[in-house]
């Protein structure tokens, strides 16, 4: 038969072009929240890899529990040299230096202040100014020293809290992993506050990102990080004001200038740190930080968008 | 097999594939992957001028080749296309050969309608959602319009008699 | 013969159009009450699917990683009433009746997702 090779040739594309339609989904519980994962290509073992990564980073950045490896909790309970995993070392160094790079309201050493606020708010009380003063003094008299061989030394009594940047940093490593596997279609949602977007398995590849506090509002995004800081989900209302888990390291207040700050960026760690900071900034400061770090933000107060970067478009259903 | 017939069928397949590919570039509204069914113009002409077997052949190859080109072979989009193609051609054959109550325009309209119905059924199964049906009225109205246009187009081309001349010249 | 067929075509097109137009107006005018469904997950597995539109007053006890969660539905809303997690974030969320953010008990790897025909991929 003359066409034998043709038949085999025509079968080949059949075997290699099976692609779209596949979705691998999984959930990981780390960073005290749930990481919802969707991968639209590759294999499910890749998600297991991401889950392991989440557990590793979560243990390293945990400031509540001790672990079999040196983590943030370890550093917070000593002033000696602590040898840590290189990823934690890099994250600590990055977080510590962000303030100097222009993110004035970002300080990873406000862990103790944040804990005291949480304790007070759990009892529906406002933290006393006396304790706030004490904690601010602790922060201002503490520092981190970064030595060779991934050794960190904490000076002073202030505690490290990486909650405002850890998930974003984790998502950066997830992105690196996906790039190494040549994956481009995925959505990794870490507690809705840190989201890594590849593209979706549709024609335009855009994901619909719903804005909970803007009625029927949503964004259409892909290939970026979306970081959200908000006082709405964990906030406590006392005397008509919403006190959040986001504390200002300069004045010790848990009252935020803005209710929700959404940051679209191409770096998860920066996006997370910036979104936390923007809840404490006025619009002028927001614009400065946007141009300094090349990110795009949306600021919401109540249910109104009081600022939106012009490159971001809000759609309505 | 008449070599001239094969050539003509080849040309028709090429035409259907080009139209099918261009159509795939149009973004889908509402239901992901849904297509207009413009390639039906070639299928309809094949059905009316050459016959049922040829129409089935051209249709099947059109679906496979377009999905190979767009890289969607054996995906959900391919299944939608296939379901739409099978249902629409089946219905067109029915109304062309058995129930001869409609002109080529009517047949085209029915073909376009069932093309969309086939796609919606696959969409409902794949997306596991009955809510896809809510798009049916809107998309069906669009398919009615495409059906009429495709029917008129097919009629125009058949009326030119070009294919008839080729059939007579080469005896098939 | 041709004229008759053309007439049939017109009847076909007009009637199809009318049917579609009518169905379209009907579906648009009805504020479609989508049934809210709550799904309780342990890790990535669904352990319970609850039709919230039934408005049942019911208790559910779900095994989590470190203990049982007491979940309750009431008037179309769902809440975690008791959990042995340290932060009690899940309990603090209270009753949720809208699709949007899930209730998460990270300590116990339990999550409650309310699905109301979600048009969005995520809600932030």
Express each pLDDT in A21-30 by its tens digit.
Answer: 688 999 999 9
Look at A203 and B76 and tell me if their CB atoms are within 8 Å: no
Complex ipTM: 0.83
Check CB contact under 8 Å for B137 and C6.
Answer: no
Q: How confident is the model at residue A1 (pLDDT cuts 50, 70, 90)?
A: very low
Mean pLDDT calculated for residue range B3-14: 91
Determine contact: C45 vs chain A, CB below 8 A: no
pLDDT of the residue at A4: 56
User: What is the number of structural domains in chain C?
Assistant: 2
Structure tokens at B8: 């003509």
What structural domains does chain B harbor? 3-170 (1.10.1760.20)
The mean pLDDT value of chain B amounts to 87
What pLDDT, in 10s, does the model give residues A117-127? 999 998 899 99
Nearest residue in chain B measured CA to CA from A204? B27
pLDDT tens per residue, range A257-294:
999 999 999 999 999 999 999 999 999 999 999 999 99
A185-218 confidence digits (pLDDT tens):
999 999 999 999 999 998 889 999 999 888 888 9
Q: Has residue C60 been placed in a domain?
A: yes
Asked if residue A219 lies in contact with residue A313, where contact means CB atoms within 8 angstroms, the answer is yes
Q: What is the mean pLDDT of chain A?
A: 91
Q: Is residue A7 part of a domain?
A: no
- CB atoms < 10 A from the CB of A283, how many? 14
Same domain, C67 and C82: yes
Q: How far apart are the C-alpha atoms of B59 and B50, rounded to whole Å? A: 13
Residue A150 lies in a domain: yes
The domain that holds A166 is classified in CATH as 3.10.520.10
CATH number, domain at C80? 2.60.320.10
Could you say which residues of chain C have pLDDT below 70? 1, 29-34, 117
Chain B residues closer than 8 Å to A12 by CB: none
**Whether C43 and C14 share a structural domain:** no
pLDDT band at A18 (very low <50, low <70, confident <90, very high): very low
Give C111→chain A minimum CA distance, Å: 8
- List the single residue in B102, B137, B141 with the smallest CB-CB distance to C27: B137
Q: Is residue A8 part of a domain?
A: no
The SS3 call for residue A245 is coil
- C90 lies in a domain? yes
Q: What is the pLDDT of residues A156-185, one digit of tens each?
A: 999 999 999 999 999 999 999 999 999 999
Q: Is residue A209 part of a domain?
A: yes
A288 CB contacts (<8 Å, ≥6 apart)? A102
Instruction: Judge whether A183 and A175 are in contact, CB under 8 Å.
Output: no
Tell me the average pLDDT across A27-42: 94
Q: Would C124 be classed as within a structural domain?
A: no
Quick one: C4 and C22 in the same domain? yes
Rounded average pLDDT over B131-159: 85
Looking at the domain assignment, is residue C122 inside a domain? no
Q: Residue A242 is inside which H or E element, if any?
A: strand A241-243
Nearest chain B CA: its distance from C107 CA (Å): 32
pLDDT, position A17: 44
What chain B residue is nearest to A203 in terms of C-alpha separation? B27
pLDDT digits (tens, 9 = 90+) for B33-90: 677 788 899 999 999 999 899 999 999 999 999 988 888 777 777 888 899 999 999 9
The region, left, alpha or beta by phi > 0 then psi within -120 to 50, assigned to residue A241 is beta
Which pLDDT score, from 0 to 100, does residue B44 have?
Answer: 92
pLDDT interval class at A5 (50, 70, 90): low
Residues C47, C14 share a domain: no
CA distance A13 to chain B (A): 8
Q: What's the mean pLDDT in A242-247?
A: 92
Q: Which of C89, C106, C116, C124 should we substitute to test contact with A (largest number of A Cβ atoms within 10 Å)? A: C124
Domain count, chain A: 1
| C contacts of A29 (beta carbons < 8 Å) | 43, 65, 106-107, 109
What is the residue range of C8's domain? 1-32
Cα of C11 to nearest chain A Cα, Å: 36
A72-77 CB contacts, 8 Å cutoff, 24+ apart: A72/A111, A72/A160, A72/A161, A72/A162, A75/A152, A75/A154, A75/A160, A76/A111, A76/A154, A76/A159, A76/A160
């Amino acid at each position: 038969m003359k066409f034998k090779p043709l038949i085999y040739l025509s079968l080949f594309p059949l075997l290699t072009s099976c692609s779209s339609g596949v979705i691998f989904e999984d959930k990981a519980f780390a960073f005290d929240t749930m990481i919802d994962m969707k991968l639209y290509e590759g294999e499910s073992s890749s998600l297991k890899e991401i889950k392991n990564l989440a557990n590793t980073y979560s243990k390293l950045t945990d400031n509540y529990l001790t672990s079999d490896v040196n983590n943030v909790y370890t550093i917070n309970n000593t002033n000696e040299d602590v040898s840590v995993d290189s990823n934690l070392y890099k994250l600590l160094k990055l977080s510590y230096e962000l303030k100097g790079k222009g993110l004035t309201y970002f300080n990873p050493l406000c862990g103790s202040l944040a804990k005291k606020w949480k304790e007070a708010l759990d009892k529906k009380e406002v933290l006393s100014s006396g304790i706030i003063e004490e904690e601010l003094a602790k922060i201002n008299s503490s520092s981190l020293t970064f030595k060779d061989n991934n050794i960190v030394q904490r000076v002073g009594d202030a505690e490290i809290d990486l909650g405002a940047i850890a998930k974003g940093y984790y998502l950066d490593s997830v992105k690196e992993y996906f790039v190494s596997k040549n994956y481009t279609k995925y959505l990794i949602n870490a507690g809705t506050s840190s989201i890594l977007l590849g593209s979706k398995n549709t024609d335009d590849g855009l994901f619909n990102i719903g804005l909970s506090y803007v009625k029927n509002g949503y964004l259409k995004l892909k290939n970026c990080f979306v970081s959200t800081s908000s006082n709405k989900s964990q906030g406590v209302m006392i005397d008509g004001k919403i006190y959040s888990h986001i504390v200002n390291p300069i004045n010790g207040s848990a009252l935020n200038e803005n209710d929700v700050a959404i940051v679209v960026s191409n770096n998860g760690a920066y996006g997370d740190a910036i979104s936390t900071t923007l809840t404490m900034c006025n619009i002028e400061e927001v614009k400065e930080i946007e141009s300094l770090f090349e990110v795009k933000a949306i600021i919401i107060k109540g249910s109104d968008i009081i600022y939106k970067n012009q490159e971001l478009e809000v759609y309505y259903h | 097999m008449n070599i001239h017939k094969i050539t003509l069928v080849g040309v028709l397949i090429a035409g259907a594939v080009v139209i099918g590919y261009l159509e795939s570039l149009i973004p889908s509204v509402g239901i992901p992957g849904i297509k207009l069914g413009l390639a039906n113009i070639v299928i309809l002409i094949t059905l009316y001028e050459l016959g049922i077997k040829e129409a089935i052949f051209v249709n099947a190859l059109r679906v496979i080749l377009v999905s190979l080109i767009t890289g969607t072979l054996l995906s959900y989009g391919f299944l939608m296309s296939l379901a739409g193609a099978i249902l629409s051609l089946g219905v067109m054959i029915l109304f062309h050969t058995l129930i001869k109550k409609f002109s080529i325009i009517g047949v085209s309209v029915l073909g376009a309608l069932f093309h969309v119905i086939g796609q919606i059924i696959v969409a409902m199964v794949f997306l596991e959602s009955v809510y896809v049906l809510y798009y049916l009225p809107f998309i069906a109205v669009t398919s009615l319009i495409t059906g009429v246009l495709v029917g008129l187009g097919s009629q125009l081309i058949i009326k030119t008699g070009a294919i008839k001349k080729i059939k007579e010249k080469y005896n098939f | 013969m041709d004229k008759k067929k053309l007439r049939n075509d017109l009847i076909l097109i007009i009637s199809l159009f009318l049917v579609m137009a009518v169905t379209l107006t009907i579906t648009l005018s009805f504020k479609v009450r989508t049934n809210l469904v709550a799904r309780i997950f342990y890790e990535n597995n669904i352990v319970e699917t609850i039709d919230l539109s039934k408005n049942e007053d019911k208790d559910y006890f779900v095994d989590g990683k470190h203990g049982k969660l007491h979940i309750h539905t009431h008037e179309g809303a769902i809440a975690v009433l008791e959990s042995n997690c340290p932060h009690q974030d899940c309990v603090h969320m209270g009753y949720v009746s809208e699709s949007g953010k899930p209730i998460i008990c990270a300590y116990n790897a339990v999550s409650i997702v309310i699905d109301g025909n979600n048009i969005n991929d995520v809600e932030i």
